[in-house]
Amino acid sequence: MSGMDERGVEAGRRERRRIREGGFVGPTAGLAPGNVQANLVILPQALAHDFLRFAQANPKPCPVLAVSEPGDPRLPGLGEDLDIRTDLPRYRVWRRGELIDEPTELRDFWRDDLVSFALGCSFSFETALVEDGIELRHITLGTNVPMYRTNLPCAAAGPFHGPLVVSMRPLKPADAIRAVQITSRFPSVHGAPVHLGLPAAIGIEDIAKPDYGDAVPVHADELPVFWACGATAQLAALEAKLPLLITHHKAHMVLTDLPIPGAREERT
Amino acid sequence: MSGMDERGVEAGRRERRRIREGGFVGPTAGLAPGNVQANLVILPQALAHDFLRFAQANPKPCPVLAVSEPGDPRLPGLGEDLDIRTDLPRYRVWRRGELIDEPTELRDFWRDDLVSFALGCSFSFETALVEDGIELRHITLGTNVPMYRTNLPCAAAGPFHGPLVVSMRPLKPADAIRAVQITSRFPSVHGAPVHLGLPAAIGIEDIAKPDYGDAVPVHADELPVFWACGATAQLAALEAKLPLLITHHKAHMVLTDLPIPGAREERT
């Protein structure tokens, strides 16, 4: 019933309703696969301007898709009926950098001064890569993409600072070149890779030991290809030890109505 | 006097006149640097159709910029006054695959059945890379770009067949990604790289021993990046052991009036 051919409002609305009503619990990968998904960061209004400055200064890891009004749980630019308090399958709530809860809705935590940020997520460009016939190892294995803290510092803004976090996909050289071409056309979801082939050059000591997500094998005829990752924003927010921070639970993303431009449609 | 800011007809016409009148002898790299340069293959009309089919079937190494009328030494699409018999600083003349002369003009070899092919050359995309601030090792060293025969076969047409020949430029990973983006915008001069990072995967045993051109060092923080090379067409024509084949002498190219689109102008 769902599938690549169905994109946009109908699929987004249907899947969000399922989640809201408790009919779907779990990672959102593959849900309404033609639609853009997003990372979520919610924090108090007093910190929102600094966080937005951080995102603007670091657009590759932190592409801003939407910012809410203070206290308003809606993000109408991403879905007319979207309610950020109920429409993700699971959240994480942090106080001063400590995880205090992993709720399935935010009723108990909502405040009139909270601002929601939706940031682009690599699920979108992965759809375009897969549609182009490129194998993505973590999808083949059914695991989370491996992520690494690099030695590349982000531009700081107010209390927000930290290293660039990257996700890694092993690709054959010709596929790596094709992947640069395809993902260059998706600047709102991390764009082109930031690095490939030489992990140590960006401070990654052991490719088999990701800092987040799951390790995947890199075969002898493949290069590790690294993209800026939305986890960068979460890490910076976490390390700022804010009085209150709410994020999506890992791989439990904001599901939008925005259609992903297909690799074929986008190809020039 | 010449320079990046001067592009097009005036620079092309002036430099071709200098060459025609014997005022310039040597490789054309850096001559009218804002203008497209081209590889030259001249062969008898009886073989021209097969050669054009070969080029069309292998567009990455053999991008066709212009084909002359039989016996007509002009290529007006590349320069109104261009005379292919006199406007290159040096040529090579081959009979049945044997080099028989390296003249500075073709008066003694011209025939009424000769057809000239101008094929795109990497000098053009190199200008765009350098304008973007990317260092190209062979230019820094003042040597010819290293070229390698690969184990990737071209599509055959009539007597024309052979391996893909590639040129190699060592680049830091971030520059390699940028170079993929820039050269993807130049499909008429080889386009995006065909390979990077793993020379053995395309049959290159020793990166320090190119088959043509000069070796350049690849530093520990660099990847070798490989582009399809116009030498592919010359090699296929040579190995067909034609009764008569005329080519440009290495790095002594056809100088056209066509302006190279700047990397900045092309950037999206």
Flag whether residue A223 sits within 8 Å of chain B, measured between CB atoms: yes
For tokens 């696969």, the residue is A33
B68 within 8 A of B74, measured Cβ to Cβ: yes
Is residue A195 included in any domain, yes or no? yes
Give me the total of CB pairs closer than 8 Å, taking one residue from chain A and one from chain B.
57
Nearest CB partner across the interface for A198, out of B173, B198, B201: B173
**Same domain (yes/no): B203, B145:** yes
B16 within 8 A of B87, measured Cβ to Cβ: yes
pLDDT 10s digits, B166-224: 999 999 999 999 999 999 988 888 899 999 999 999 999 999 999 999 999 999 999 99
Using a CB-CB distance cutoff of 8 angstroms, which residues of chain A are in contact with residue B196?
173, 176-177, 196-197, 223
- The whole-angstrom separation of Cα A99 and Cα A102 is 8
Is residue A206 included in any domain, yes or no? yes
Domain that holds residue B43: 9-121+240-259
pLDDT 10s digits, A200-256: 999 999 999 999 999 999 999 999 999 999 999 999 999 999 999 999 998 899 999
**Same domain (yes/no): B71, B162:** no
**Same domain (yes/no): B56, B184:** no
Which residue in A has a C-alpha nearest to residue B224's C-alpha?
Answer: A197
Nearest Cα of chain B lies from the Cα of A250 at a distance, in angstroms, of: 28
pLDDT of residue B6: 60
Domain count of the fold of chain A: 2
CB atoms B197 and A176 under 8 Å: yes
pLDDT of residue B4: 43
Which residue in A has a C-alpha nearest to residue B184's C-alpha?
Answer: A181
Q: Using pLDDT thresholds of 50, 70 and 90, give the confidence band for residue A29.
A: confident
Nearest CB partner across the interface for A223, out of B194, B198, B221: B198
Using a CB-CB distance cutoff of 8 angstroms, which residues of chain B are in contact with residue A187?
none
- The whole-angstrom separation of Cα B103 and Cα B248 is 10
| CATH code for the domain in which residue A102 is found | 3.40.1640.10
For B201, list phi and psi in degrees, rounded to 5.
-65, -20
A248 within 8 A of A92, measured Cβ to Cβ: yes
The residue count of chain B comes to 268
Is residue B264 included in any domain, yes or no? no
pLDDT above 90: residue B88: yes
| CATH code for the domain in which residue B144 is found | 3.30.2040.10
Using a CB-CB distance cutoff of 8 angstroms, which residues of chain A are in contact with residue B176?
196-197
**Same domain (yes/no): B68, B87:** yes
**Same domain (yes/no): B38, B165:** no
**Same domain (yes/no): B176, B76:** no
**Same domain (yes/no): B113, B14:** yes
Percent helix, strand, coil in chain B (nearest 5)? 25, 25, 50
pLDDT 10s digits, A150-167: 999 999 999 999 999 999
pLDDT above 60: residue A1: no
Of B198, B196, B147, B190, whose CA–CA distance to B172 is shortest? B196
Residue B145 DSSP one-character state: P
Average pLDDT over residues B147-167: 96
Flag whether residue B46 sits within 8 Å of chain A, measured between CB atoms: no
Q: Using pLDDT thresholds of 50, 70 and 90, give the confidence band for residue B1.
A: very low
pLDDT of residue A4: 43
Nearest CB partner across the interface for A196, out of B177, B181, B221: B177
Task: Return the percentage of chain A with pLDDT > 90, whole number.
Answer: 81
**Same domain (yes/no): A114, A181:** no
pLDDT above 60: residue A3: no
Sheet harboring B163-171: ordered strands across? B147-153, B163-171, B223-228, B195-196
For tokens 């184990």, the residue is B151
pLDDT above 80: residue B257: yes
pLDDT of residue A30: 81
